[in-house]
Structure 1
Amino acid sequence: MPHCVIECPASIEAAVDLDILVKTVHDAADSTGIFTPGDVKSRLKVYQHDMVGGRKDDYVHVTIGLLSGRTDDQKKALSSAVARAVCELLPNVHFISVDVRDFCLETYSNRASLDRLAGQAAPARI
């Protein structure tokens, strides 16, 4: 946790290497100190068909999902850190946004939680 999902148009690749964009978001989230090192997960969705304000334009939107329990101040620090890092990376992109959303702890499932329910140890991370 968290999951950082980056969305942007294919045209953004003319402005930045997409791996660098993913690393920038990932490192910014990791640098907040809110999460255990190694827990940040980041991925990118590139769109071919999109519009901003009724026209084609570059944008980057990051949705960050995390388990409930963080304070509003922590979530604001996270969104600000990620937004600031993307703005610095892409100074000519005017539409940059970050949204932090809580996953409901009571209903969220992953392999580790399923293994705990079954009484098994979660597989070691590689």
Structure 2
Amino acid sequence: MPHIVVEYSANIRERLDPPALVGRLHEAALATGVFPVGGTRTRAAEREHYRIADGHPDNGFVHVTMDIGAGRDLETRQRAARAVFDALVAHTRALFADAPLGLTLELRESDPQLSFKHNNLHDYVKARQAGRERP
């Protein structure tokens, strides 16, 4: 982990560049050194049905949820969340200056007793780093 999920209102798609945002947030999370490459997943979902603030059609939003494994201290969690949030703010700077926009990020810890995983991505990442295609 983390699993980073970006939700955004459909009315900002063209100015948001979701693929670039996904890449930027993913790299920001990895750059913290807190999360393993093989456990990091970032994805975006456009929301077509929404109502924001007073309902004006220009209002937009981007909400990021970071689900992480339990066990990190508060300072580490805050540092990681702030790094990803700062990347979101930087990515949306021009849009924010030009349109009504709400940006939010929430970090949540998974309960280790209720989080199930079956993952061989770590093995593949290590193999690729060693110059091999497969573990």
TM-score under structure 2 normalisation? 0.78
- The 3-state SS of whatever aligns with 2:26 is helix
List runs of 5+ in structure 2 lacking aligned partners: 125-133
- The 3-state SS of whatever aligns with 1:111 is coil
Residue number among 62, 65, 69 corresponding to 2:64 in the alignment: 62
Kindly indicate which of the two structures has a greater share of residues assigned to helix.
Answer: 2
How many residues get paired?
117
**1:107 and 2:106 aligned:** no
Instruction: Note the C-alpha offset of 1:38.
Output: 3.4
Matches within 5 A, 1:74-93: 74-91=76-93, 92-93=95-96
**Distance change (3 Å), C-alpha of 1:28 and 1:7:** same
Partner of 1:32: 32
- The 3-state SS of whatever aligns with 1:78 is helix
Any idea what the Cα deviations from partners look like across 1:25-69, whole Å, max 9, x if unmatched? 111111111012332101111100112213141111100001110
Partner of 1:117: none
CA RMSD across the alignment: 1.7
Partner of 1:97: 104
Moved more, 86-95 or 22-31: 86-95
Instruction: Note the C-alpha offset of 1:16.
Output: 2.5
Q: Distance in 2 between matches of 1:23 and 1:12?
A: 18
Instruction: Note the C-alpha offset of 1:98.
Output: 0.8
TM-score under structure 1 normalisation? 0.83
Q: Distance in 2 between matches of 1:38 and 1:111?
A: 12
The AA in structure 2 aligned to 1:95 is: G
Q: Distance in 2 between matches of 1:12 and 1:25?
A: 18
- The 3-state SS of whatever aligns with 2:8 is strand
* Fraction of identical pairs, as percent: 25
